[in-house]
Structure 1
Amino acid sequence: MAESTSSGDVSYPVVNGNSPVASHIKSEASRTGDELRDLKYSRTTPSTRAATGQPLTHYHSLLYSLLSWERPRATAVSYATVVSFIIAARFFPLLRWFFKFLYVALGFTAALEIAGKTVMSQGLASSFRPRKYYTIPKDSIEGVLEDMEQLLDFFLIEFQRILFAENIVHTVAAFFAAFTSYWLIKILPLWGLSLIAVTIAYMGPLVYINNREEIDAQIAHIQSLINAQANEVKDLAGQHTARAKVLVKQYVDEYSNKAHELVGTRRSASPEMAKVPSPQIKAEPSSPEPAVKQEDFPEAPKAEPVSESVQEPQEPKPEPVLAS
C-alpha cells in the first residue's frame, strides 16, 4: 500500500514494500543485474573476421553490445560508471584518500598491537592473524592475464583496421576525432576531453539507431557524390594521360627523324672528306740529336804523304838604264 504525507498543500506518496512502485523498482533492478551479469560472463567471439582472416576477440562483441544499446540498462549503467569515475578523478583527491586510508589503517593496527602487548602481554592485531595468508588462485591469475591479452589484442587489431582503411567510414571518423581532439586539447583539460569522448561514443550509436533511415540516406548520397567526383577525376586523368602519351610519341618520332637525317648527311659527306689531304703531323724527336756528327769529319789517309819541293817564284830583276 502507498500512503501519502502532506507538506502544506502538496502531498507526497510514501512507498512501502508492497506498492506497485516498489515492485517496479525491484523488477528493474533485477533486470539490470541480470543484464550486467550476462554481459560480464559473456565470452562469445564474433563470427565475423578481420580483412586478413584473423579472428576477433570477445571484447569486440562486448563493446558492440554496449555501444549498440542491445542491453540498454547495462549500457546506461556502464556509461554512468565511466562518467562518475572521470568526475571523481577530477574533483576528488582519490589518490590522497587512498594513502590516507592506508596510513590510518596501518597506524591503528600498530597502536592496537602495541597497546595489547603493553597491557595484556599479547598483541591484539596478531590475534586476528589467519592461519594461512590469502593468495590469488592460479586459475584467477590465468583468467586475468588472458583477459588482459584479449583487451590488448582488441585495441591493437582495431587500431590496425582503422589505420589500413578496412572500413573507410571508420577511418574518416577516426581522422575527424583525432583532428578535433588535437585542437580541443589546447582549450580543454584532459578530464573534459575524456568526458566529451565518452559521451559521443555512447550517445552517437543511440542517435544513429533512432534515425537510421535518414542517416543511411545521407551517407548513401554523400557516397554517390564522392563516387561521381572520383569518376570525373579518373576520366580527366585518363584524358591527360592519353594526351601526354601522344605528345611524347610525337616528340620521340621527331627527334628520331632528325637523328636519322643527321646520320645520313654524315655518311654522304665521308667520300669527299677522303680526297682532302690530311695534314702531316711531324713527330717530335724523342731525344735531341747532337749538333756535330761524326760524318762531318773526313777520314785520315792511311799512307804517309810524300814531301815535294816547292820552288819559290823569282822576282824579275830590273833592267839597267842607259845614260845618254
Structure 2
Amino acid sequence: MADTATTNGGNTMDSLKGNAQAAYDQLSNGPVAQNVKDQSAKTTSELNNLAASRQTPLQPAATGQPLTHYHSFFSELLSWNNPRASAIAYASVVSVIFVARYLDLLRYSFKLTWMALGVTVLAEVAGKAILHQGLATQLRPRKYYTVPRETLDSMIGDVHELVNFFVIEAQRIFFAENVFASGAAAIGAFISYYLVKIVPYWGLALIATTLVFFVPLIYATNQELIDHYLKQASDVVNSQTEQIRQVASKQTAQAAEMTKQYMGDYTAKAQEMIRGRSTSPAATKKPAPAETDFPQAPKAEPGFPAVPKSDLADIKAEEEPLLS
C-alpha cells in the first residue's frame, strides 16, 4: 500500500511537472512570446541604427564649417525613422523631468552624501574603538578605481561634440540659416516669455520636449498636406512682397523725380536771386568819370550883340516930356 501511494504520488508530481513544462513551452513558443521577441529584436535594431547614425554630415554649415556627428544623431532621432528608439528617448527625457521635479534630486543627493559619509565615519571610529581596526578600512579596496585614459578621451570628445552641436545650432538659428527654424524659435521664445509667469520650469521643459519630438512626427505623417499649405503661404508671401517691392520702387521713383524737380526750381530761383543782387544799383559801382567826358571851357569871352542906336534914341525921346 505504501509503495502504491508512493508510486501514485510520484506519478502525480511527474504529471504536474510535465504540465508545467508544457505550459512554459507553450508560453515561450506561443504567439505572445514570439511577438515579444520580434518587438525586442526590432527595438534593438532601431537602437543600433540610431547609434550608427552618429556620423559627421557631408553638408557643412552656411559658413563652410563641418557639423558635428550629433547633428546626424538628433536629425535621425527626431525624424522618427526609428519610432521605437524615438519613443524610448522621449519617455526617458520625460521621466528625467518628472523625477527631477518630484524627487528633488539635488537636495536628495546631498542627503544621500551626508548619510553615506556619516555611516562610513561611524563604522571606522566604532571599529577602531571596539576591534582596534576600522570597519571602513576592512572594506577599502586594495586599489582605488581610476578612469582609463581611453574612456576619458572618449567621454571628453563626446562632450566636446555635444557642446559644439548646441553652440553651432544656436548660431545657425540666430543668423537665420533656416528661416523657418529661426521663426519657430522666435515664436517659441515669445510664448515662453509669457508662459513662464504661470507655468513652472519643469512644465516648460515638458512642453518643449513634447513639441521637439512630436512636431517632426506630425510633419512626417502629414507631409504632403503640410507642404501644400506651406507652398500656398509662401506664394502669398512672395506675391505680397513683390507688390510691396513694386509699390516701393514706384514711390521711390516718384519721390526722386519730385526731389529733382524741386531742386531744379530752387537752383533756378537761387541763381536769379544771385543775378539780381549783382545788377542792383547799390551793388554796382560806377567807374570814375574821365577828363574827356566833360566839355572844355571856352577860352575867349563870349560876345554880346550891340544895342542899335536908333532904337535907343527913340526910347529917350519918348521918355522926355513935351514942352509947351
Please, what TM-score do these two structures have when normalized by structure 2? 0.74
CA contact (8 A) 2:124 2:134 kept: yes
> Relative to total residues, which structure has the larger helix share, 1 or 2?
2
**1: CA distance between counterparts of 2:124 and 2:270?**
108
**2: CA distance between counterparts of 1:205 and 1:80?**
16
More off after superposition, 208-217 vs 113-122: 113-122
Q: Which of the residues 106, 118, 123 maps onto 2:117?
A: 106
- Please name the residue that 2:218 is paired with: 207
Judging changes above 3 Å, is the alpha-carbon distance between structure 1 residues 179 and 16 closer, same or farther for their aligned structure 2 residues?
A: same
- Please name the residue that 1:234 is paired with: 245
- Please name the residue that 2:315 is paired with: none
Kindly indicate whether residue 133 of structure 2 is the aligned counterpart of residue 93 of structure 1.
no
Letter in 2 for 1:68: S
Q: Please list every run of 5 or more consecutive structure 1 residues that lacks an aligned counterpart in the other structure.
A: 1-14, 278-324
- Please name the residue that 1:184 is paired with: 195
- Please name the residue that 2:230 is paired with: 219
Judging changes above 3 Å, is the alpha-carbon distance between structure 1 residues 62 and 129 closer, same or farther for their aligned structure 2 residues?
A: same
Judging changes above 3 Å, is the alpha-carbon distance between structure 1 residues 118 and 42 closer, same or farther for their aligned structure 2 residues?
A: farther
| Deviation for aligned residue 1:42 | 4.5
| Deviation for aligned residue 1:37 | 4.2
- Please name the residue that 2:262 is paired with: 251
Judging changes above 3 Å, is the alpha-carbon distance between structure 1 residues 64 and 265 closer, same or farther for their aligned structure 2 residues?
A: same
Runs of 4+ displaced beyond 6 Å: none
Judging changes above 3 Å, is the alpha-carbon distance between structure 1 residues 29 and 104 closer, same or farther for their aligned structure 2 residues?
A: farther
Q: Which of the residues 170, 180, 204 maps onto 1:193?
A: 204
**1: CA distance between counterparts of 2:214 and 2:186?**
19
Letter in 2 for 1:108: V
SS for the counterpart of 1:134 is coil
- Please name the residue that 2:152 is paired with: 141
Letter in 2 for 1:92: L
Judging changes above 3 Å, is the alpha-carbon distance between structure 1 residues 141 and 206 closer, same or farther for their aligned structure 2 residues?
A: same
Q: How many equivalent pairs are there?
A: 264
**2: CA distance between counterparts of 1:242 and 1:164?**
32
Instruction: Give deviations 1:192-236, integer Å, cap 9, x for gaps.
Output: 111111101101111000000000000000000000110111011
Judging changes above 3 Å, is the alpha-carbon distance between structure 1 residues 108 and 18 closer, same or farther for their aligned structure 2 residues?
A: farther
Give the alignment's Cα RMSD to 1 decimal.
Answer: 2.4
| Deviation for aligned residue 1:276 | 9.3
Letter in 1 for 2:204: L
Letter in 2 for 1:27: D
The percent identity for this pair of structures is 45
Q: Please list every run of 5 or more consecutive structure 2 residues that lacks an aligned counterpart in the other structure.
A: 1-25, 289-324
Kindly indicate whether residue 21 of structure 2 is the aligned counterpart of residue 23 of structure 1.
no
SS for the counterpart of 1:214 is helix
- Please name the residue that 1:62 is paired with: 73
**1: CA distance between counterparts of 2:273 and 2:111?**
97
Greater RCO (Cα-Cα under 8 Å, separation 6 or more) = 2
Q: Give runs of aligned pairs for residues 143-158 of structure 1, distance below 5 A.
A: 143-158=154-169
Judging changes above 3 Å, is the alpha-carbon distance between structure 1 residues 27 and 125 closer, same or farther for their aligned structure 2 residues?
A: farther
**2: CA distance between counterparts of 1:137 and 1:55?**
29
**2: CA distance between counterparts of 1:272 and 1:108?**
111
Q: Give runs of aligned pairs for residues 3-14 of structure 1, distance below 5 A.
A: none
- Please name the residue that 1:3 is paired with: none
More off after superposition, 173-182 vs 101-110: 101-110
